[in-house]
């Protein structure tokens, strides 16, 4: 919004050119004295007042507040919708080019809302391409731009940052961002259904990975209860996809598959390719958990192919870890090892949970070949990655594997240490996000 003097001159110019007196412009909501004070630049009008005056003067709020024709912002918003469609149906790098051009245009026109939307789009593109540091930067910049807006308007930026930290294996900080935002929304009485569903759905994954199953279930139940009030079908589909994880954790495989089928149907109608690939990925995981390995392989290969076609490198690598587990269970160790060797660079950059999973699988296969030293090395590397991420359930299971290996090779004390480590993490389920805020990861 421009300075009061500029807005006042604009109001006066439009009023006089329209042949209106100050009283005619003001009534019935305001007084002639208020219009006089406004036109002299001695008061900053509220948004409500400007919207009323814009209607009376036959113009738009944007033009009255900024002097820019409204069609410029409208055209930019349409172009942002096109960029969003490119991200949904094309490759992330192509969409990012669109968003960068639109960000520059929004900055030139000083359109705050459109700048924030372009930054959010760039953050989504960076998430898909696995550029997690860049993603955090874009989401943080959008959040800063929207600092003066109500908290629900900032929810998407906060969720984006939380997802970036989650993908980097920083589970505890991801939970903190989401939990603190939910608490603030509820404490302020800002019960915005779309913002809450977005945040509750996003917190399910880190809860599950941390072993906080009761919290994940509560988040899923809350999101499901709020879903009828949400009008965005993509948001509802994403909620169903995340809720499936809680069903699976409870052993409700049929419910998990049904929830994923709902999400898949909605994503197909909306032509959201990456999200559809994630449904295939999750259904593959469900099939693997229920022992349907051939069906699991088919779903995971479909997900891998779709994500690779979109050049979503990080997601593709994560699917390959889970596909490798299925191949190992099918006895195809060579294929599994080949897949895993391509994703081990995840531990240098991001994806600590899946990199830890890759080392765990390589350790299992080495142990099955009788290569004890190689197995132990992979287990220890996996342990370091999972300890950093806070993936409690996976960490406890890995400590069991390492303890069993050490016990079989006669190192009883070392085995006991490994078991104690696993038991300690298992005992802490659901408590790791309590207490003071964790430090932000570097």
67 phi-psi bin (left φ>0, alpha ψ -120 to 50, beta other): left
Asked if 256 and 286 count as a contact pair (C-beta separation under 8 A), the reply is yes
Residue appearing with tokens 């955090």 = 136
Reading the block at residue 65, the tokens are 């507040």
- Supply angle C-alpha 420, 422, 425, rounded to 5: 110
Distance CA 258, CA 225 (A): 17
pLDDT at 120: 97
Reading the block at residue 60, the tokens are 């738009």
Asked if 355 and 343 count as a contact pair (C-beta separation under 8 A), the reply is yes
Distance CA 142, CA 159 (A): 12
One pLDDT digit (tens) per residue for the chain, 442 residues: 578 898 999 899 889 988 999 999 998 889 999 999 999 999 888 889 999 999 998 888 878 887 777 677 788 989 999 999 888 887 788 999 999 999 999 998 888 889 999 999 999 999 998 899 999 999 999 999 999 889 999 999 999 999 999 988 888 899 999 999 999 998 888 779 999 999 999 999 999 888 888 899 999 999 999 999 999 999 999 999 999 989 988 888 889 989 999 999 999 988 888 899 999 999 998 898 888 999 999 999 999 999 988 888 888 888 998 999 999 999 998 899 888 877 776 554 556 777 888 888 999 999 988 999 999 999 998 888 888 777 777 788 888 889 999 999 999 999 999 888 877 655 333 333 333 444 566 5
Residue appearing with tokens 């993908």 = 167
pLDDT at 59: 85
Q: Using DSSP, how many helices (H) and how many strands (E) does the chain show? A: 24, 0
């Amino acid at each position: 919004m421009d300075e009061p003097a500029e807005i006042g001159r604009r109001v006066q110019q439009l009023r006089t050119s329209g042949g209106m007196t100050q009283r005619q412009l003001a009534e019935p909501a305001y007084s002639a004295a208020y219009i006089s004070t406004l036109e002299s630049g001695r008061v900053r009008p509220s948004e409500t007042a400007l919207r009323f005056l814009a209607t009376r003067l036959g113009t738009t709020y944007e033009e009255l507040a900024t002097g820019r024709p409204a069609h410029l912002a409208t055209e930019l918003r349409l172009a942002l919708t096109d960029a969003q469609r490119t991200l949904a149906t094309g490759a992330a790098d192509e969409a990012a080019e669109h968003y960068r051009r639109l960000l520059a245009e929004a900055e030139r026109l000083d359109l705050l809302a459109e700048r924030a939307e372009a930054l959010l789009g760039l953050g989504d593109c960076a998430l898909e391409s696995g550029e997690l540091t860049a993603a955090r930067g874009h989401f943080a910049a959008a959040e800063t731009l929207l600092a003066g807006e109500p908290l629900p308007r900032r929810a998407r930026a906060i969720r984006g940052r939380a997802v970036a930290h989650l993908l980097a294996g920083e589970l505890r900080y991801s939970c903190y961002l989401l939990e603190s935002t939910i608490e603030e929304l509820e404490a302020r009485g800002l019960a915005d259904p779309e913002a809450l569903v977005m945040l509750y759905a996003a917190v399910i994954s880190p809860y599950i990975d941390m072993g906080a199953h009761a919290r994940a279930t509560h988040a899923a139940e809350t999101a499901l209860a709020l879903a009828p009030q949400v009008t965005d079908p993509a948001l509802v589909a994403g909620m169903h996809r995340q809720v499936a994880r809680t069903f699976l954790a409870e052993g409700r495989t049929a419910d998990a598959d049904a929830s994923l089928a709902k999400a898949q149907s909605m994503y197909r109608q909306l032509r959201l390719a990456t999200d559809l690939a994630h449904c295939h990925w999750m259904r593959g995981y469900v099939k693997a958990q229920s022992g349907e390995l051939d069906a699991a392989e088919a779903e995971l290969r479909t997900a891998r192919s779709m994500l690779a076609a979109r050049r979503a490198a990080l997601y593709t690598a994560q699917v390959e870890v889970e596909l490798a587990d299925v191949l190992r269970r099918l006895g195809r160790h060579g294929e599994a090892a080949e897949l895993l060797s391509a994703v081990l660079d995840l531990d240098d950059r991001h994806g600590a949970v899946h990199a830890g999973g890759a080392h765990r699988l390589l350790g299992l296969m080495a142990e099955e070949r009788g290569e004890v030293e190689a197995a132990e090395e992979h287990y220890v590397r996996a342990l370091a990655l999972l300890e950093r991420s806070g993936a409690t359930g996976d960490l406890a299971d890995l400590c069991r594997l390492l303890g069993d290996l050490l016990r079989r090779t006669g190192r009883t004390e070392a085995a006991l240490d490994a078991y104690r480590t696993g038991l300690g993490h298992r005992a802490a389920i659901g408590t790791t996000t309590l207490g003071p805020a964790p430090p932000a990861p570097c």
